């Protein structure tokens, strides 16, 4: 059951950080150039165009030196004022983060508690919006803790009809993996991070704002300084940032965006759909169930059968096969494990992760035909 | 006057970002490992110990994914409340930043305006402190915009005598270059960034807090989330961070701290003192003057003679010799240029920068004996 080898490569299949390509690592290992120079400004100009393309927006996308949470906080403090009422969709650890940020700043969150693993019922949002008085709806495109996609298109469409209400989407683990056309769907704030689909090290957050969001920013009175979006907008329009940017990561971002452009948006989303579907079929073929009833293409959350501790699957992969996946959090701890298909990750990576999960399950006494999961994944990859 | 070569290496001698060693670049170019794993927690444990050593404190040093400004904002929002009165030393662009942050959060700043290029007069601080009612004194150890060292030891000693008043030091371009023994001097909050003396790419801020500062944090009511220091403290004590850390930069930080430890604190400060003195002697030998009457060892700000635009020195170095230094900002623009001696930077780097400055000055019509500056710098380096 143990690998009969002393060579054991590290494989990172967690929903962030994700694997970085050698080409990107090399680009980032080049000499650090100063950010107030023409060569770096050219890189920012290229990245600006690339991000508008990836976010599918005509507006600027801001680049922040922070993790994604910093951009989430920025979305709150730049568009709202103390006492404002908002709707928060909480279907997992990251939905929870929205109302915690709101609470820290005195914004009143009306929280829609969604059963973990389920998508929010848009009717719940609609009935609240119809009552009126809400300044924003906060939601995840991909709730990483449960592997769930919330119906962003439908939510954005409902919010679009309301004046003075913003649709704010945390797409940290979704953007680049899932189609989220910001302008076409009417998303007002769209957020992502470097360490997910983009396949970069963590340390960069990116955020796009609609005209409606920029208008709200005019009236917002919450305090802000480091995450002051209006100051960042003025700077990015001059191909720079307000404060010292994470230079090496932005150089890596330029490289990744070049690769994404070669691939094309449609292929990008199709690739993630195909990797996700193969992973799901592999897991189902082992007699396991998906945790989410609305599985997102960024990652697959898998329930272990009664009597098998999902944390043990996680631990065996980590210690024996040098592979990092993710376990479950809070109430889902011990019940699920999560496999990401993000970053520098291809078809044969699906095969390796399904194989390692099979070995771990066999060790834990689960009954199945060895290779059944891998076979199902391979079949899907060949057909899709 | 032009280099007769088509090979023209990039040299980065600005006060941040600073050159990164090949060894550090390679460490950071390794595979990204997940942050919630034992191997990464071991790195954080090592970095924790290294930072305590570098900050010369028994307390924890927090590691934030942001530029230094994020930690400056954190120092304000974690220890103060709306309406609190503080003293701000403003002797340049970074002093200015302190009161701008205070203003954004409704903290009342009593600003001591210091002539650019001069150190604050401690009597100005003492007379205010004696009136009482101030919750903190905000100051730079190295004001990068003017190349000035403020008398931190004396300021900290004054503040130490007052209950409920904190000495908050922005040492972003000072820590590692200048001796700032946090505990021994009674500095309450000490801040640095990755892209200065540490010689790492930008994207990491580090901040140490004294017991007195942690006590103040108990009573602070300003809103915070991403920069919530109490949450970070709990996390760092478990060798992790509250939000996804800038993994690659922390791996680089571990490498740099290992090198620093080999060198030793005394040698580290002596090295910067020697590089700075050689640069100063080189500039004086060319008939130029220092801009600061209290020059810091991190960087040297140099006045150009009447009739010579300092921005032209900056531009010639950039375009002709592929060397990035810094010009002057605001009122000092056109009057000074700034040479840093930070990061991966050694004796012969001093020789190259003085040589390039000589060539630029000759091109701009300044009269001096070619090589006089380099000779003076070399003499100093040999003697010190």
What is residue B238's three-state secondary structure?
coil
Residue A3 is predicted with a pLDDT of 58
* Chain A nearest C-alpha distance from B18 (Å): 7
Do B225 and A20 make contact, defined as CB atoms within 8 angstroms? no
Percent of chain A with pLDDT over 70: 99
pLDDT of residue B6: 72
Q: Is the ipTM of this complex over 0.90?
A: yes
Q: Residue window 318-347, chain B: list those with CB within 8 Å of chain A.
A: 318, 324
* Peptide bond connecting B156 to the previous residue in cis, omega within 30 degrees of 0: no
Residue A5 contacts B, CB cutoff 8 Å: no
Is A37 in contact with B318 (Cβ distance < 8 A)? yes
Which pair of tokens denotes residue A212?
A: 């409606």
Judged against a pLDDT cut of 70, whether residue A198 lies above it is answered with: yes
Question: Which residues 6-25 of chain A have a CB within 8 Å of chain B?
Answer: 10, 12, 14, 16-20, 25
Tell me whether A109 touches chain B (CB under 8 Å): no
Question: What pLDDT is attached to residue A210?
Answer: 98
Q: Which residue of B has its CA nearest to A35?
A: B17
Contact between B33 and A66 using a beta-carbon 8 Å cutoff: no
Interface contact A225, partner B, CB < 8 A: yes
When pLDDT is cut at 50, 70 and 90, the band that residue A7 belongs to is confident
Residue with tokens 């002093």: B95
Render pLDDT for B205-259 as a digit per residue (tens, 0 to 9).
999 999 999 999 999 999 999 999 999 999 999 999 999 999 999 999 999 999 9
What's the rounded mean pLDDT across residues A59-65? 98
Mean pLDDT in consecutive groups of 10 residues from the start of chain B, 384 residues = 72 97 95 94 98 98 98 98 98 98 98 98 98 97 98 98 97 98 98 98 98 98 98 98 98 98 98 98 98 98 96 97 96 97 97 98 97 98 94
User: So what's the pLDDT on residue B4?
Assistant: 65
Chains A, B: CB contacts within 8 A come to: 169
- Does the pLDDT of residue A4 top 80, yes or no? no
Confidence bin at A140 (pLDDT 50/70/90): very high
Phi and psi (nearest 5°) for B44? -65, -40
What pLDDT does residue A8 have?
A: 87
- Answer whether B83 touches A (CB < 8 Å): no
What H or E segment, with its residue span, contains residue B324?
A: strand B323-324
Cβ <8 Å between A32 and B14:
no
For chain B, positions 14-73, list CB contacts with chain A under 8 A: 14, 16-20, 25-26, 28-35, 37, 65-70, 73
d(CA B150, CA A338): 52
| pLDDT higher than threshold 80 for residue A214 | yes
What pLDDT score was predicted for residue B2?
Answer: 55
Q: Enumerate domains of chain B plus CATH numbers.
A: 11-18+265-383 (3.90.1150.10), 32-262 (3.40.640.10)
Contacts for B94-99: CB closer than 8 Å, 24+ residues apart: B94/B140, B94/B143, B94/B144, B94/B145, B94/B170, B94/B172, B95/B138, B95/B139, B95/B140, B95/B143, B97/B69, B97/B72, B97/B170, B98/B72, B98/B138, B98/B139, B98/B170, B99/B138
* B222/A222 touch (CB, cutoff 8 Å), yes or no: no
DSSP secondary structure of A297-313: SSEEEEEPPTT--HHHH
Tokens 């004996």, residue located: B369
Q: B338: part of which helix (H) or strand (E)?
A: strand B336-340
Residues B54-100: tens digit of each pLDDT? 999 999 999 999 999 999 999 999 999 999 999 999 999 999 999 99
Chain A interface includes B92 (CB < 8 A): no
Q: Testing the interface with B: which of A223, A240, A251, A339 to mutate, by most B Cβ within 10 A? A: A223
A223:B223 CB<8 A: yes
The encoded tokens of residue A143 equal 């709730």
CA distance A67 to chain B (A): 6
Task: Quickly tell me which residue has 């701008």 as its tokens.
Answer: B100
| Residue A6, pLDDT score | 72
């Amino acid at each position: 059951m143990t690998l009969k080898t002393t060579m054991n490569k590290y494989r990172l299949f967690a929903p962030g950080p994700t694997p970085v390509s050698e080409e990107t690592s090399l680009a980032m290992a080049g000499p650090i150039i100063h950010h107030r120079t023409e060569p770096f400004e050219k890189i920012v100009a290229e990245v600006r165009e690339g991000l508008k393309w990836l976010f599918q927006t005509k507006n600027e996308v801001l680049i922040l030196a922070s993790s994604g949470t910093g951009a989430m906080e920025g979305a709150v403090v730049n568009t709202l004022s103390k006492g404002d009422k908002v709707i928060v969709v909480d279907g997992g650890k990251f939905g929870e983060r929205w109302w915690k940020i709101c609470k820290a700043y005195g914004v009143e969150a009306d929280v829609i508690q969604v059963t973990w693993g389920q998508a929010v019922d848009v009717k719940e949002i609609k009935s609240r919006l119809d009552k009126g008085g809400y300044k924003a709806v906060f939601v995840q495109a991909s709730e990483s803790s449960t592997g769930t996609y919330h119906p962003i298109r439908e939510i954005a469409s409902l919010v679009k009809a309301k004046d003075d209400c913003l649709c704010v989407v945390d797409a940290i683990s979704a953007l680049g993996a899932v189609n989220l056309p910001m302008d076409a769907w009417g998303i007002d704030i769209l957020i992502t991070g470097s360490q997910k689909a983009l396949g970069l090290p963590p340390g960069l957050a990116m955020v796009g704002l609609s005209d409606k969001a920029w208008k709200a920013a005019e009236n917002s009175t919450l305090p802000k300084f480091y995450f002051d979006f209006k100051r960042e907008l003025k700077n990015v329009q001059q191909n720079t940032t307000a404060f010292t940017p994470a230079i090496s990561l932005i150089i890596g971002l330029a490289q990744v965006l070049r690769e994404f452009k070669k691939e094309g948006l449609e292929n990008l989303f199709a690739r993630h759909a195909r990797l996700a579907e193969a992973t799901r079929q592999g897991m189902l073929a082992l007699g396991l169930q998906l945790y989410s009833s609305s599985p997102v293409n960024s990652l697959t959350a898998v329930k272990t059968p009664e009597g098998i501790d999902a944390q043990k699957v996680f631990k065996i992969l980590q210690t024996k096969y040098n592979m990092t996946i993710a376990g479950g959090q809070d109430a889902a701890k011990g019940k699920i494990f999560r496999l990401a298909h993000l970053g520098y990750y291809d078809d044969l990576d699906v095969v390796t992760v399904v194989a390692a999960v099979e070995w771990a399950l066999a060790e834990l006494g689960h009954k199945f035909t060895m290779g059944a999961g891998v076979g199902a994944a391979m079949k899907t990859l060949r057909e899709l």
